[in-house]
Amino acid sequence: VRSGGRLADYAHPTRGSLRMVAGPVHCEGDHPPTRAAPALGADTDDLLGELGYDSERIARLRKSGAV
């Protein structure tokens, strides 16, 4: 893995930089992302908004424990 250049450093939101095995598919001129996925629930409000939920409805869902 190391000699084949298959390691990549990824930025983690709470742990700094992490070295991990890079993605298996590489295309010439393409640079895969080197950041971690969002933390669990970090983009829930934005996603629900894209689905048509307004802020009041999202707040009700949060209050009920649904999200």
Read off the pTM: 0.52
Q: Which element (helix H / strand E) includes 62?
A: helix 55-64
67: exposed, middle or buried (Cβ count in 10 Å: 0-12, 13-18, 19+): middle
> Which runs of E-coded beta strand occur in 1-67?
7-12, 16-21
Per-residue pLDDT of the chain (67 residues), as tens digits, is: 888 878 888 888 788 888 888 877 777 877 776 667 778 899 999 999 999 999 999 999 999 999 9
